[in-house]
Structure 1
């Protein structure tokens, strides 16, 4: 198991390195004359040259990336070109907001989708058809459109939730619940659909196996057969879908944060990309890449825990 984890971590590091190199190159090309943007159109050539030298932009692109990489490995991601805020602080101050929404959405989505998927697999009549219809409808509407509807109806119309803003749980737990409820619901509706369908298909497949019939013949209750045996063996596909959902929700949170005016990691990424603030963009990219690698590793470990065949492989 340790060897497996080490291999996964090394592969993850290679992936992070490749992503950062690619993004750094593309953003350096797309940013244009950042010195002109910072100093204004009336800056003299001498001032522009001095600013480029200050930012290290007078060096060849490979040298620029190498310098950034060396500092990043030491934990120094630089400062924002526009606000002079340390990149590490900018990311850390905003990641808790984004993760609180995404993690809450994944937990809610997991509970609801697994429940619906099992019910649809066990009760193959009206419940099954209802879940399938809900899945199709949920996947048909983008989460930012759902967010706009939720704001219009439940925040502006009924006044049940605040339309914008965020309250940390350290300040007020109930205030935190109120501010993340609509963003979480907007993320969850689309996510429930695909996971519930995956759980349904996996449980139906497991229930058709010979060992399930043997367990029933031995007199085990249907509840025990489903919860202790069928659901565990159907878990790996669902866990994989949930991991992809987690990653998708991180990217989906970008639009959700814009709708609800939340100052999270997604808003920071969009603002920095529009400005061409390369140090901040790279800090966000590294953070996102590490999150994705960590999630994939946890999924592999979870699959090994629920499925002994995976541990052997």
Structure 2
């Protein structure tokens, strides 16, 4: 009878731990920025599951530690050694098979998310006795309503839309799949939009395509997640998700009334250093030639007016 009560109590404690773990996993959704794409929903669901699993393991370990401290403490005058631990084949199989299955399931979910993004240009096939590796592209790219070219360079984002519209802001139609063609002109950059749950490296000399489906209208922020130079922290721009009608109107307005913009990093470079002792030396002037050369190679492009 005592064993039955112990099993019932253990089942109740496990049920409580599962309930608390599930609640903590649901709270994990609030730790993230708002979901702005369909892919972000899949990422958050996986993250919530991992938080629930981690919370359940933590509660189980802490519970066993507290149980041992409360009911199996040695007496103050007891200096004898504990009983030697005996191995259990069932337990060994359990904590070997269970984590293996969990890791395989997580890997399968990650593959499904990457398939949904339809990232192209990353698969590398290395052949022996070749001077350079060959890269394989998918023969069946995922269809997309829009295609936008993303050009990253120190320290600027440039976007080329259909009808030869160019801008320093990224505009996306809501509830429509958009293919982004990521290109880097100089060094490795990182395309990172937290609300999209998307962080993709952009490698010079390689076109990397991915498909995103925005689901939430709003204004978001694109950042460079890779250290691409001294002023890489200023390499940011706005991302607007809007209705298809507003998106088409924006394209028409930009095509008719372009506005010249300047790179804010160049102005930052020209600022004199803030030091306690004035030496008259301005390191920003040393980069003036480089800045002018960059402006000549990559002239300012039209930026949209606020609608």
If the length of structure 2 is used for normalisation, what is the TM-score? 0.26
Highest Rg: 1 or 2? 2
* Greater RCO structure (CA 8 Å; 6+ sep): 1
Query: Which has the larger helix fraction?
Result: 1
If the length of structure 1 is used for normalisation, what is the TM-score? 0.25
